[in-house]
A and B are shown apart, each in its own frame.
Chain A
């Protein structure tokens, strides 16, 4: 079965960078895009962007342009999300999410999620 296992919690200082990993198993990493979604404490879901693990191509939400970098290492079936110039309001749980499609192949939805990685930004 599909599993996405993320790296452990991180505590970072303002201005630092954090890199979160998402190891995929049960399928071939390059077969599906990987998305990243974050959730600040007590807040809603926020889409950050996606990577095509096959080509390495990325699309980032405008809000994170210039601060986020999504990469992958296909040899170890792992996707990464790095966020730089961290601020206190970047404190959140970060999820990787893999879309799946319906039988038509035209409708995609997120039905596979990592367990989440808590990133705390504090001085």
Chain B
């Protein structure tokens, strides 16, 4: 199964933006996949945030604020989660995911600290 690479940690201050990345292996083209993002807080199951394929094919999870958004950097073969207007409650672990064929693959997760 492919490996999705996420930085182990990231930090930003309240009100700032956080840009979390998810890099796909070189043999998998990010252009070809929906990139899903989940948020997980301690002791709870993951919460679905959104998916991003393109600007015309994307979706937001139920009740997820619009300050969470997705994008791609095709040149870096990377999916991106952008969180604007950071709030203390955004401090959590964030996981990317792809769903190729009959398997699901998660990234290793990024722990976001809101300073």
Contacts and interface: CB of A to CB of B under 8 A. Distances in A.
Contacts of B78: none
B46 A107 contact: no
Interface stretch (A24-32, A40-48, A74-82, A84-92): A40-48
A44 B99 contact: no
Contact of A95 (B45, B95, B97, B108): B45
B95 A45 contact: yes
B103 interface: yes
| Range for the number of chain B residues in contact with chain A | 20 to 34
B1 A62 contact: yes
Interface string A51-77: 000000001011100000000000000
B104 A35 contact: yes
Given A61-B1, A116-B45, A111 B61 contact: yes
Interface string A79-120: 000000000000000010100001000011111011110000
A113 B102 contact: no
A107 B34 contact: yes
Contacts, number: 52
A110 B38 CA distance: 9
Interface in B43-65: 45-46, 48, 51, 57, 59, 61-62
A44 B8 CA distance: 10
Interface in B96-115: 97, 99, 102-109
B51 A107 contact: yes
B103 A44 contact: no
Interface residues of A, number: 23
Contact of A107 (B59, B62, B109): B59
A102 B59 contact: yes
Given A95-B45, A114-B45, A115-B45, A44 B107 contact: yes
Interface of A: 35, 37, 44-47, 50, 59, 61-63, 95, 97, 102, 107-111, 113-116
Given A37-B104, A109-B48, A111-B48, 12 more contacts: A45-B95, A45-B106, A46-B106, A95-B45, A97-B45, A102-B59, A107-B57, A107-B59, A109-B36, A109-B61, A111-B61, A113-B45
